[in-house]
Amino acid sequence: MKYLIAGLGNIGSEYEHTRHNIGFDVVEYLAAQNGGIWKHDTLAFVCEIKHKGRTLVLIKPTTYMNLSGKAVNHWMQKHKIPKENIMVVIDDLNLDLGTLRIREKGSDGGHNGLKNIDAVTGGNDYPRLRIGIGNKFHKNQQVDFVLGKWKPDEKERVKLITEKAAAACLSFAAIGIKHTMNGFNGNLE
Catalytic residues: 20
**Dihedral (CA of 142, 28, 5, 161) sign:** negative
Burial class (CB in 10 A: 0-12, 13-18, 19+), 177: middle
Nearest to 81 by CA among 37, 46, 109: 46
Burial class (CB in 10 A: 0-12, 13-18, 19+), 61: buried
Could you count the other beta carbons within 10 Å of the beta carbon of residue 41?
A: 15
For the chain, the residue count is 189
Answer for the pair 24, 9: CB distance below 8 angstroms, yes or no.
yes
